[in-house]
Amino acid sequence: MRKDLEKASDESLAKEILKDPENLSFLIDRYWQQLFFFVKRISYFSSDDTEDILQDVFIKVYRNINSFDSSYKFSTWIFQITRNTTIDAIRKKTSRPQEFSLDQNDLRQILVESGIDIEEKIINKEKIKIIEKTIRALPFKYQEVMILKFLEEKTYEEMVDIIKKPKGTVASLLNRGKALFKKEAFKKGLVLED
């Protein structure tokens, strides 16, 4: 039974969770890490705060499991709940200590996807700080779509459902975010030529 549930699709796991809340542990196991990094990337919360948010997320998932619409991908639905819970937490916890949570690979990925070519294989500490500052200075709406697209590797359709905005708006947020990031990176000397 345990092995079956480990391999079961998200949708059938959702049905099993309704029968027994203990089965939620399989879902937690499946999504914890992915959502943990997603929350950290968009919120800059500490690990403890992120875990608290995820606890709320999984309780919400359990409470609303009957409202899951099978026309969505389950992962999209759970990202949608996570995103909303994180935004609520950001509103409440602005004064809480924050830590930057994008690692060097994340930063490199964002740079590449934004069309910024960094020659060095390893970005030095100074540059990392500049890139971090540049990303953090971007408005949340741009950071969010860039993280979803470049780091979480979501499709446009999934992004539409996660951030609940029309496709055109998502695309323009992404383009504007990239352009703004490139512009700021250029100003800070990260890029030699625009």
Partner 1 sequence: MTKDKRACEIIKKIKKDQIKPIPKWQCRLFGILIWAGVFFAVILSSIFLSLVIINLLEIPFHIFSMNYFGLLIRFLPFFWLGLIGIFLFLGFLIFNKTKKAYRYRFLMIIAILFLVTLFFSLVLGRLKIDRQIRNFTENRIPQSLSNRPSHMVFCKRNMAKEGLLGGELMDKKKNSVLVKNDLNENWEVILTPETKIKKRAQLLIGDKLLILGNKVGELSFQAKVIKRIEENKNSFK
Please say which residue, 10 or 113, places its beta carbon nearer to partner 1: 10
Q: Outline where the chain has alpha helix (H).
A: 2-7, 10-19, 24-43, 47-63, 74-92, 104-113, 125-137, 140-146, 156-163, 167-187
Q: Which is nearer to partner 1, 58 or 79 (CB)?
A: 58
Q: Which long-range contacts (CB under 8 A, 24 or more apart) does 101-107 make?
A: 101/37, 101/40, 101/41, 101/44, 102/41, 102/132, 102/135, 102/151, 104/128, 106/41, 106/151, 107/131, 107/132, 107/135
Which of 58, 142, 150, 181 touches partner 1 (CB under 8 A)?
58
Q: Measured from the CB of residue 150, what is the shortest distance to partner 1 in angstroms? A: 22
Binding to partner 1 in span 16-55, by CB under 8 A: 18, 21-22, 24-25, 28-29, 32-33, 51, 54-55
Local structure of 155: helix, strand or coil: coil
Subset of 68-107 contacting partner 1 (CB under 8 A): 69
- Residue 93 Cβ vs partner 1, minimum distance, rounded to whole Å: 19
CB of 160 to partner 1, least distance (A): 6
3 is a contact residue toward partner 1 (CB under 8 A): no
- Chain residues binding partner 1 by CB under 8 A are 18, 21-22, 24-25, 28-29, 32-33, 51, 54-55, 58-59, 62-67, 69, 160, 164-169
